[in-house]
Amino acid sequence: MADAAIVLGAAAQNGQVSPVYRERLNHAVLLYRQNYVNKIIVTGGRAEGSEISDAQAAKKYVIGQGIPKEDVLTENKSAVTRENLLYSREIMESEGMVTALIVSDPLHMKRGMFLAEDLGIEAYSSPTATSRYQSLRTKIPFLLRELFFYEGYKILKMFSI
């Protein structure tokens, strides 16, 4: 059992989580119900023009799935994956948590785990069994984007040491 599931953000609009984020949240709810985690950390800041943060929309969704509100923590400052994890680590530290399951799409998991390790989070991957990225038309652009950010981060990291 891990202390928390960190659900990497995937946008919300008008207070509603995106289909991609919803799949990630559904997976975290399943992990919670099956006692793999004690808490769920939802992530994502407030986009320009939005009244609430992505994390607040996600918390509303997760509570609507029957998860007690005290077991859903919000990280609502982030704009990118690294910040999702950085600010979630701060929440974990303040709550005395040590371990996390990282929840995201399978194609996003490698970068998410790399960033979690880089930030010193004791994390294990828990990719969604379902994804909104189902056709080659949606998978290829997402995969190329992930490769770009993953390799770019590794290159920048080499120069910052």
Q: Is 63 inside a domain boundary?
A: yes
pLDDT in tens, 13-49: 888 999 889 999 999 999 999 999 999 999 999 988 8
pLDDT band at 120 (very low <50, low <70, confident <90, very high): very high
The pLDDT value given to residue 78: 96
What's the number of domains the chain is made of? 1
Q: Is 117 inside a domain boundary?
A: yes
HSE-CB for 16 with a 13 A CA cutoff: 3
pTM for the full predicted model: 0.84
Q: Is 6 inside a domain boundary?
A: yes
Q: Is 46 inside a domain boundary?
A: yes
Q: Is 146 inside a domain boundary?
A: no
Q: Is 152 inside a domain boundary?
A: no
Q: What are phi and psi of 142, to 5 degrees?
A: -65, -45
Report the CATH number that the domain containing residue 96 is assigned in CATH. Answer: 3.40.50.620
Q: Is 145 inside a domain boundary?
A: no
| Per-residue H/E/C for the chain | CEEEEEECCCCEECCEECHHHHHHHHHHHHHHHCCCEEEEEEECCCCCCCCCCHHHHHHHHHHHCCCCHHHEEEECCCCCHHHHHHHHHHHHHHHCCCEEEEEECHHHHHHHHHHHHHCCCEEEEEECCCCCCCCHHHHHHHHHHHHHHHHHHHHHHHHHC
pLDDT band at 136 (very low <50, low <70, confident <90, very high): low
Spatial separation of the C-alpha atoms in residues 82 and 47, rounded to whole Å? 17
**Length of the chain in terms of residues written:** 161
Q: Is 142 inside a domain boundary?
A: no
Whether the per-residue pLDDT at 134 is higher than 70: the answer is: no
pLDDT band at 133 (very low <50, low <70, confident <90, very high): low
Domain that holds residue 81: 2-133
Mean pLDDT of the chain: 89
99 Cβ partners below 8 Å, 6+ apart?
2, 3, 4, 122, 123, 124
Amino acid at 81: T
